[in-house]
Homo-oligomer: A and B are copies of this chain.
Amino acid sequence: MTDAAPPGISRWAIRIEFDGRPYVGWQRQKSGLSVQQLIEEAAEHLTQGRKVSSVTAGRTDSGVHAAGLVAHLDFPDDAPLSRKAVRDAIGYHLKPHPISILEAAPAPEGWNARFSATWRRYRYTILNRPARPAMQEGFVWHIRAPLDIEAMQEGANHLLGGHDFTSFRAAACQARDALRTLDELTITRSGEYVYVDVQARSFLHHQVRNMVGTLALVGHHQWHPDRVKEALEARDRCKAGPTAPPDGLCLMDVGYPDNPFQP
């Protein structure tokens, strides 16, 4: 895969919001409806049905949401496009799916939604109260017992910086190595909600959900915060905690040195 747009292609950047519940995830799969398929099909209304292909900065899993995922769309070069037309027309053709195009812009020379990204930011939301969620069902992990967020933060601090994250990596992960650098891992409480905010250049498959599932053990006082360090150093998926459900996870934003959406 080359980074830049091939000749004869007009590359556009889009910023997307979606409710991940109805989909198998971002990527096209035979097993069901994907966000990628729906966006490409909606974009093909702008090209009289000629093929539009897409690449995303983050291949979210089934049930994971996005508030600011970035992707690029490769259109035939002669398609008449404007920022407003791409945003509104694709958004229109995506109806009634809970997928919305927030912004669209022509990609800078050589720009690639996946390879040009220098950071990804996720928020994981826990609803921490006895009563089950009514309005937030599907968008939170419901944990009844009160979480000790100071202990969670102490455990989280062991994961900051550069490490081999083998213990927090899904078996199906296709990355060449498990070396990643966590720039931020912050746990905050706002009333009944506990937020885990995390940022890195890139993440391994299920890394955020595996870290959250592990930190929840610390929050329940089932694990001492230092056991997170032991789990990390073991480089063994079996030594870390369970995978948190997809519901609470949302891809918030993707960063580029050469931001295509700047006006």
Contacts and interface: CB of A to CB of B under 8 A. Distances in A.
A125 to B, nearest CB: 12
A17 interface: yes
A198 B112 CA distance: 46
Interface magnitude class on chain A: 20 to 34
A17 B100 contact: no
* Number of copies of this kind of chain in the complex: 2
Given A17-B135, A88-B130, 9 more contacts: A17-B131, A18-B135, A19-B137, A87-B130, A98-B135, A98-B137, A99-B134, A102-B131, A103-B131
A162 interface: no
A55 interface: no
Q: Which of A87, A88, A135, A139 has the most CB of B within 10 A?
A: A135
A131 B65 contact: no
A132 interface: yes
Contact of A132 (B100, B131, B137): B100
B134 A19 contact: yes
A134 B132 CA distance: 23
A228 interface: no
Nearest to A192: B102
